[in-house]
Structure 1
């Protein structure tokens, strides 16, 4: 991989950068909690509406799909117009959907409302564009990693929704979330500083043709498809998995999933620091190897082997108990948190002037993992009848990522050696 071209975009961190980062992270956490609302609501809805695993996967995927698709056009717009202003419009647009939630009572109604909730998923692309305008290149990994901790907003959903149901009932979930979103919108409008004018003076949005024609952007998108798409898919799927595989009640399943989500989100800042210190590519490669080992063990379904001995049969039980399973999931979550930060550090190294359009494209592909993978998980479970089919799917996705990264690195090393040879007259440049 060639070295990034030095840029004068942000040689020094600007005043008000920390205030912008704190408010952006808070707003992103609020939006992410709305985007993943079905992660908690989905389980009772599955029983209430008698959904199959595939239908359940489609329900979970609805908000993720619309949020993924809209990230690309909004990312391009964010390179041309104020990402802060676009973000305010997005938060206001979600509030009516939350107010309509108590009036929906059918599967198709929840699907359409989920697509509307998906507007909140745009917040990441707008936030990356907003935050990256304030910090020097040497601090982009840490800044974007801290901003990415807003993923922990899903913890709000895992805690708030059960409490709202217990004390107020289902009908109050939407209005409570609408009130919270309105409060965050007002705080962000009043307290967040406008983007520095010089940043937009140097920026230029890439067209869709330019984005789609850049193989490196597709490669980064594939990496993000795993580190973010599979994280998103797992936080949606894990509650059901714990209930099916380990006979947990919904409260216990939510608690274990919350542990996975919170730890994976909180280490993202540390992952950004590592990416600044050791390079995003090195962090990505380490993340993939760690996840590959964990997914190998998670993919193996519970198995009973009977060995016919001379005098008696010997029965062997092969499977992960809940604690080993949770440990492996925890390790994957931490690794994915590092990976999500390092991918965007690499993107800024190569496309510092196009964080809206390129970041939006990569984020869109990554978020598509969050909507396609739950559907594939459901299809695999319905077709195979194996509860670990979801991890088999993730193992295949990760293998594709690693093969792609290996050959890309080989090609980059070859180009670097060729350039060195030409520079030292070992090879004539014709």
Structure 2
């Protein structure tokens, strides 16, 4: 029957979502890898610099809530394209500003505009909750941890790659041309996503005029197990009414918010504390933190499916705390590098563990829960950098190291919360679900 034929496949759904997220998520590092350029040109304080490098996370986190839930109404393709379009607008504005004002005219008076364009460029970060929801609807419950980790791990690699490439492009092309190249990447990536994207089966059937109940029944025949409620606002309300949703928000604030914050903050740390140049600081951040933290989500999701997300989260947050303690107490390069790698492993595995629990704890409102957890949790990426910047204003360059006490506190709280979740987990716990193939 033609009306029930489904375009694409779970693999194509996963691949297109991962591509869109990869393109948009690069906005995390709009300013971080070259923060020193903006700091010196605009004479910024530690707090102002922290706010600026965190600007993309402001929109990239908060927009996850409505856009993640909007997927339940219209599927993922339309929300993806809106968010990527806003990112293109922000990058176009930033490129135009640099063309007309950089370097002599880029003064503190233009700070509000630079902040605004950074915030717009960060809208693509919000594609995380959109792609998460799409992936959940394409795959069976038993494989959620593995496929969500694959989606997030590969998509999360873009900030690492851009942290590595942007300082090199700065040296080779200059700041303005480097951002023009980024603008071109955004445009091309968005076009490719628009061509490849396929919504999950139930959305395709509904788009052809099939009523919701019939579409659900036919989509189930094609392997879809999780289904949208069809009401974005209701999905958010339903998820918000479940206490475990807020526990997951808190855990994700530390893990993913911490990942975002450190991705933009570590280049300045390496430069200020260890005297590393801008290009090398970007490479260190990418190789020792951002890329490992992203890619380790793949085995982290596999582990969460098998031993349980709660146990995996406890172990990973212990690692985060231990690494943060070492970074506070040492000024030695080798110990700092090893601690950064441990920190990357901790936040990366924790990210996978938390999202493995979302469809298991909130199956009746996956879209709303994904938006709340992904959005409010990722808000840490905006909140944490200014908090770290306060330590710099108080203690000078050494504040880049002592500021890691913030992560010690966050890790301790997260270990206690994850352990509590383990003790009161659902009767049919996520770690007893069948492993799948």
Aligned length: 384
More divergent stretch after superposition (144-153 vs 92-101) = 92-101
Is residue 84–residue 195 contact of structure 1 (8 Å, CA) maintained in 2? Answer: no
2:346 paired residue number: 335
| Residue pairs, 1:159-174, within 5 angstroms | 159-174=164-179
Match of 1:350 among 361, 386, 405: 361
Q: Secondary structure at the match of 2:23?
A: helix
TM-score where L is the length of structure 1:
0.84
1:411 deviates by: 4.5
More divergent stretch after superposition (369-378 vs 128-137) = 128-137
2:299 paired residue number: 270
Q: Secondary structure at the match of 1:194?
A: coil
Take 1:229 and 1:54, find their aligned partners in 2: how far apart are those partners?
Answer: 18
Q: Secondary structure at the match of 2:74?
A: coil
| Residue pairs, 1:285-364, within 5 angstroms | 285-300=314-329, 319-364=330-375
Is residue 2:89 matched to residue 1:96?
yes
1:44 deviates by: 0.9
Q: Secondary structure at the match of 2:360?
A: helix
More divergent stretch after superposition (263-272 vs 196-205) = 196-205
1:208 deviates by: 4.3
Match of 1:281 among 300, 310, 314: 310
1:212 paired residue number: 240
Q: Secondary structure at the match of 2:198?
A: coil
1:344 deviates by: 0.8
Is residue 34–residue 157 contact of structure 1 (8 Å, CA) maintained in 2? Answer: no
Take 2:282 and 2:164, find their aligned partners in 1: how far apart are those partners?
Answer: 9
Return closer, same or farther for 1:120/1:198 CA change in 2, 3 Å cut-off. Answer: closer
Is residue 84–residue 130 contact of structure 1 (8 Å, CA) maintained in 2? Answer: no
Is residue 2:389 matched to residue 1:368?
no
TM-score where L is the length of structure 2:
0.83
1:10 paired residue number: none
CA RMSD of aligned residues (A): 2.1
1:203 paired residue number: 228
Match of 1:36 among 29, 32, 36: 29
1:92 deviates by: 2.1
2:390 paired residue number: 379
Structure having the higher helix fraction is 2
More divergent stretch after superposition (38-47 vs 358-367) = 38-47
Is residue 2:409 matched to residue 1:396?
yes
Is residue 50–residue 388 contact of structure 2 (8 Å, CA) maintained in 1? Answer: yes
Match of 1:221 among 240, 244, 249: 249
CA displacement, residues 140-182 of structure 1 (integer Å, 9 cap, x when unaligned): 1111111112111013322332343333322223332222122
2:219 paired residue number: none
Is residue 2:52 matched to residue 1:59?
yes
Is residue 2:166 matched to residue 1:138?
no
1:190 paired residue number: 195
Larger Rg: 1
Match of 2:263 among 235, 238, 241: 235
Is residue 35–residue 64 contact of structure 1 (8 Å, CA) maintained in 2? Answer: yes
Q: Secondary structure at the match of 1:203?
A: coil
Is residue 78–residue 357 contact of structure 1 (8 Å, CA) maintained in 2? Answer: no
Q: Which runs of 5+ in 2 are unaligned?
A: 1-6, 98-105, 205-211, 217-226, 429-437
Take 1:409 and 1:321, find their aligned partners in 2: how far apart are those partners?
Answer: 37
Q: Secondary structure at the match of 1:388?
A: helix
Is residue 102–residue 170 contact of structure 1 (8 Å, CA) maintained in 2? Answer: no
Q: Which runs of 5+ in 1 are unaligned?
A: 1-13, 301-318, 417-430
1:372 deviates by: 0.3
CA displacement, residues 310-344 of structure 1 (integer Å, 9 cap, x when unaligned): xxxxxxxxx34111111111011012111111111
CA displacement, residues 107-141 of structure 1 (integer Å, 9 cap, x when unaligned): 22111111211211111011101111111111111
Q: Secondary structure at the match of 2:63?
A: helix
Is residue 149–residue 300 contact of structure 2 (8 Å, CA) maintained in 1? Answer: yes
